[in-house]
Amino acid sequence: MKQSFNSMKSLLTIAIPTWNNLQQLNWCVDSLFNYASYSFDVVIVDNSGKSEVEELLATKDYPIKVINSDKNLGWMGAINLVLKDCDTEYFCMMNDDVIFPPASQMFWPKLLAHFKDDTVGAVGPCSNFVAGPQSLTQQDTSIVFNATTLIGFCSLVRTGLIQQLGGLDESLPGGDDFDLSIRIREAGYHLRVDKTAYLHHFGQQTGNRVHEGFWDSSWHQELVNNALIKKHGLSKCIESLYMGWYEPMLKEA
């Protein structure tokens, strides 16, 4: 694999896998640095086997590390590749089809502040395109609450914790966010949602193009559910997959 990077010591590493999604990746990184700049390292794993991402970023002045993979590692493989050498305190798994709206300057400070609570293992924002109580349209939740699952479009986790848990399980056909959520909770940590932090999400962009007609179909969902049940048992999966569960008594941030 060829690598090019401009890294600096920071508090947070943001890992962004991408596959032939140059336009939306461009919107993503522009909005990240223009509207939500912070002390972070950004690592993009280009699964396309091309050099288009490097060519795009060569026209910009962003401190981004690019890993050009000679094969499609998939979402989980790309995340694990970045995680392996991550030495920042916190780690974020982020899709390439998200956009930070203007006035997002407090996005990262809001989310990272929750890690001051030692019982919190992972934190996520709300969005327009996300399942469960992280959805902006689901109004019967507190502003800040603990959930059974964090969806992986943008999920922050303690680096040491996810490394200790072995990263994402690449043997699964999907549902890695459900699987990781179960394992984090089994390790004794809470999953925190903060609805004062919003991230626009196009949703299902890469999955639908790589696995046309299959990704998120009823057949695919059945494969994922069966794999999760086989690994964790039915009761834990029902608790995790029931996305309406949350603790409404937390004090609002």
Q: Is the pTM of this model over 0.85?
A: yes
pLDDT, tens digit (0-9, with 9 covering 90-100), for 111-133: 999 999 999 999 999 999 898 88
CATH 3.90.550.10 fits 2-241, yes or no: yes
Amino acid at 61: D
Q: Distance between CA 46 and CA 67 in Å, rounded?
A: 6
**Beta bridge partner(s), residue 100:** none
Q: Taking residues 39-47, report their average pLDDT.
A: 97
Highest mean pLDDT pick, 4-18, 172-186, 225-239: 172-186
Q: Spell out the domain ranges in the chain.
A: 2-241
CB distance 249 to 190 below 8 Å: no
Which phi-psi region, left, alpha or beta, contains residue 183 (left: φ > 0; alpha: ψ -120 to 50)? alpha
Q: Distance between CA 69 and CA 204 in Å, rounded?
A: 21
| Of 13-27, 110-124, 201-215, 216-230, minimum mean pLDDT range | 201-215
Q: Are strands 144-147 and 2-4 parallel, antiparallel or unpaired?
A: unpaired
Q: Distance between CA 218 and CA 224 in Å, rounded?
A: 10
**Number of other CB atoms surrounding residue 206 within 10 Å:** 21
Confidence of residue 242 (pLDDT cuts 50, 70, 90): low
Sequence-ordered list of residues with C-beta below 8 angstroms from that of 122, at least 6 positions apart, any chain: 150, 155, 156, 157, 158, 161, 180, 181, 184, 189, 191, 192
